[in-house]
């Protein structure tokens, strides 16, 4: 009985930790959903910590070109920067591309 209760408690603890970790990482990044010339729209989930004029880093999943055992084959690498123009809706921001050639699905790193 005690063993079963202990297993359930440990499983519950790991579930809570996994949800908390996923939520924290989701709040610190956005995703480019539209690109038009030097402007783009970014889905951020919540724009509470984002202000007009803020400079944000853009990352893309790229091959690492490493053939060493244990090294990752892909990682998120910086491909550009954007400047926040406005927060249009609670979940979206409009940005101006200041550096790089961005694509749909690129990740926006949000510094709190």
* CATH classification of the domain holding 90: 2.40.10.410
Residue 90 maps to a domain: yes
Q: How confident is residue 25, by pLDDT bands cut at 50, 70 and 90?
A: very low
The rounded distance, in Å, linking the Cα atoms of 19 and 93 is 25
- Name the domain count of the chain: 1
**Domain range for 75:** 29-109
Mean of the pLDDT values across residues 43-67?
A: 87
Query: In the prediction, which pLDDT does 12 show?
Result: 57
Residue 13 forms part of a structural domain: no
**Of 29, 37, 20, 42, residue with least CA distance to 92:** 42
CB contact at 8 A, 112 and 56 = no
| Cα–Cα nearest to 44, from 111, 112, 110, 95 | 110
In a domain, 20, yes or no: no
Does the pLDDT at position 98 exceed 90? yes
- Model-level pTM? 0.67
Q: Are 78 and 59 in contact (CB under 8 A)?
A: yes
How is residue 100 annotated by DSSP?
S
Asked if residue 18 is part of any domain, the answer here is no
Exposure letters 49-81 (e unless 16+ CB within 10 A, then b): ebeeeeebbbbbeeeeeeeeeeeeeeeeeebbb
């Amino acid at each position: 009985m005690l063993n079963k209760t202990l297993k359930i408690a440990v499983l519950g603890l790991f579930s809570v930790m996994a949800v908390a970790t996923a939520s924290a990482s989701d709040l610190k990044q956005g995703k480019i959903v539209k690109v038009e010339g030097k402007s783009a729209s970014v889905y951020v989930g919540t724009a509470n910590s984002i202000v007009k004029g803020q400079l944000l880093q853009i990352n893309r999943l790229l091959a690492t070109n490493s053939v060493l055992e244990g090294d990752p084959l892909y990682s998120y690498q910086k491909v550009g920067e954007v400047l926040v123009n406005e927060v249009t809706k609670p979940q979206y921001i409009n940005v101006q591309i200041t550096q790089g050639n961005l694509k749909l699905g690129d990740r926006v790193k949000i510094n709190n």
